[in-house]
């Protein structure tokens, strides 16, 4: 067995783990990233695509936004469609900021390339990761790579291993009275990536009698489209024709909006869930991103929330590693959960307003009333815009939401 050491062992090379690794490097803190999959797999996993304004600013500060600034699509707002009409919310006008559309896998590629170029370690295909000794000051992570078992000694383990990772389980065993907040939805999103040039510059969130649909794009040639489908739907039951026909039903509006079709490059169904695990830290183990919480994708918060967690964590680890103030870890859970619950509420609210839940006419009228309010009242639109473009990261968010 080889034995090595580092300051922070980061499990998972998703947005949370990779951004954390860069934030730590910027503070002079060494880390090792352990990733279960190979590089190609993580660089081609199509998931989120909306970056909040503070996330973009953070990536710029880290010096990894050159391609993002070149290829990312700046969106000044979004459109909400209901009752056959589109209504535009101009975020720039409402709150002075915009969002950027840039695929999560592109961010992951940029972060990996920059880290490897700096000579900092990422171990791909790290199997059988186990975490031990988290009650003491020297936790240990063991893993198998290149046919050998490795032992990594560190001061803090950051579990950034997503919803199905191993860290939350370890934390749960260490804290028997942990809390889990969980909500399933009776539907999921069928998402496709299509080679079809977008016909509009911004996202359209459509509340239709047949269910929700989202029109979005990833580049000037690629559209990303979503349909609300029942939670137990099978992707095999959706032919190309059926997908396009349902999109044709739910998306076009009376004011002439139409869209291009084209070869479907990727397809999949994602379940919708709201989930929060607390605490997010025990001893020398912290969890961040999807490892700690899941939001339904309607508010475009998942990846941004992962970045927000590690922005808080990096400042705390600066105190812990560089100044020996281990007690600062005590603040991590409460600092993160304030934002997590704000985003949970926003994601749940957007989901509730835009999806079809059942045939209840009362609920339908409430949805329409809410949609009319956010598209006619500047105060209501500003609230949506403020949450959508993203609240300030780190200390300033904690202070303003104390």
Ligand X SMILES: Cc1cc2nc3c(=O)[nH]c(=O)nc-3n(C[C@H](O)[C@H](O)[C@H](O)COP(=O)(O)OP(=O)(O)OC[C@H]3O[C@@H](n4cnc5c(N)ncnc54)[C@H](O)[C@@H]3O)c2cc1C
Residue written as token pair 């409460």: 334
Q: Is residue 205 annotated as a catalytic residue, yes or no?
A: yes
Do the Cβ atoms of 16 and 291 come closer than 8 Å? Answer: yes
Mode of pairing for the β-strands spanning 140-145 and 127-132: antiparallel
Tell me if residue 226 is catalytic: no
Which CB sits closer to ligand X, 35 or 202? 35
Q: Which helix (H) or strand (E) holds 100?
A: strand 99-101
Nearer to ligand X, 160 or 321 (CB): 160
Residue 109 annotated to the active site = no
Distance separating alpha carbons of residues 283 and 153, to the nearest angstrom: 15
Cβ neighbour number for residue 217 with a 10 Å cutoff: 25
Q: How far is the CB of 381 from ligand X (least distance, A)?
A: 21
Q: How far is the CB of 32 from ligand X (least distance, A)?
A: 12
The nearest distance, CB 361 to ligand X, in angstroms, is 30
Taking the complex as a whole, the smallest distance from the CB of residue 391 to ligand X amounts, in Å, to 16
Task: Name residue, tokens 């996993």.
Answer: 45
Rg (the chain; Cα; Å): 21
Known active-site residue 221? no
Q: Which is nearer to ligand X, 128 or 209 (CB)?
A: 128
Q: Cα–Cα distance between 331 and 313 in angstroms, integer?
A: 10
User: Is the separation of the CB atoms in 308 and 290 below 8 Å?
Assistant: no
Q: Which residue is catalytic, options 22, 53, 301, 355?
A: 301
Out of 22, 53, 75, 97, pick the active-site residue: 75
Q: Which tokens in the block code for residue 212?
A: 């929700």
Which parts of this chain interact with ligand X (CB under 6 A)?
A: 11-17, 34-37, 42, 47-48, 50, 104, 126, 129, 160-162, 165-166, 270, 289-290, 297, 300, 302-303, 306
- Kindly tell me which of 93 and 169 has the beta carbon lying closer to ligand X: 169
Active-site residue (options: 205, 215, 226, 332): 205
Check if 388 is active-site: yes
Q: What is the C-alpha to C-alpha distance for residues 22 and 17, in angstroms, rounded to an integer?
A: 9
| Residue number with CB closer to ligand X (149 or 376) | 149
Give min distance, CB of 309 to ligand X, in A. Answer: 8
Cα 232 vs. chain centroid, distance in angstroms? Answer: 23
Residues recognised as catalytic: 75, 205, 297, 301, 388
């Amino acid at each position: 067995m080889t034995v090595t050491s580092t300051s922070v062992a980061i499990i998972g090379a998703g947005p949370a783990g990779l951004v954390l690794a860069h934030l730590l490097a910027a503070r002079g803190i060494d880390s090792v990233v352990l990733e279960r999959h190979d590089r190609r797999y993580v660089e081609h996993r199509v998931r989120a695509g909306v970056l909040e304004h503070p996330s973009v600013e953070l990536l710029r500060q880290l010096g990894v936004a050159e391609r993002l600034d070149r290829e990312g699509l700046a969106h000044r707002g979004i459109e909400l469609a209901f009752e056959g009409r589109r209504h535009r919310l101009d975020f720039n006008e409402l709150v002075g900021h915009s969002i950027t559309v840039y695929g999560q896998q592109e961010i992951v590629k940029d972060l990996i390339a920059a880290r490897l170029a700096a000579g900092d370690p990422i171990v791909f295909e790290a199997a059988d990761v186990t975490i031990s000794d988290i009650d003491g000051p020297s936790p240990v992570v063991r893993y198998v790579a290149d046919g050998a078992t490795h032992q990594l000694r560190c001061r803090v383990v950051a579990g950034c291993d997503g919803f199905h990772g191993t860290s939350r389980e370890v934390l749960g065993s260490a804290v028997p009275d942990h809390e889990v907040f969980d909500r399933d939805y009776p539907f999921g999103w069928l998402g496709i990536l299509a080679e079809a040039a977008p016909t509009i510059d911004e996202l359209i969130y459509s509340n239709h009698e047949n269910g929700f649909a989202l029109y979005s794009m990833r580049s000037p040639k690629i559209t990303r489209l979503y349909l609300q489908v029942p939670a137990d739907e099978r992707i095999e039951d959706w032919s190309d024709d059926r997908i396009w026909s349902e999109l044709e039903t739910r998306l076009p509006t009376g004011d002439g909006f139409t869209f291009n079709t084209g070869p479907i490059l990727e397809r999949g169904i994602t379940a919708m869930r709201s989930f929060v695990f607390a605490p997010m830290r025990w001893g020398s183990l912290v969890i961040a991103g999807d490892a700690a919480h899941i939001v339904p994708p309607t508010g475009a918060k998942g990846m941004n929330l992962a970045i927000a967690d590690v922005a808080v964590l990096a400042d705390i680890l600066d105190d812990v590693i560089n100044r020996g103030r281990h007690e600062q870890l005590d603040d991590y859970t409460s600092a993160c959960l304030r934002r997590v619950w704000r985003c949970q509420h926003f994601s749940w609210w957007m989901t509730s307003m835009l999806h079809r839940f059942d045939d209840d006419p009362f609920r339908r009228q409430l949805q329409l009333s809410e949609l009319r309010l956010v598209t006619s009242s500047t105060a209501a639109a500003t609230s949506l815009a403020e949450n959508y473009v993203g609240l300030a990261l780190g200390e300033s968010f904690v202070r303003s939401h104390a």
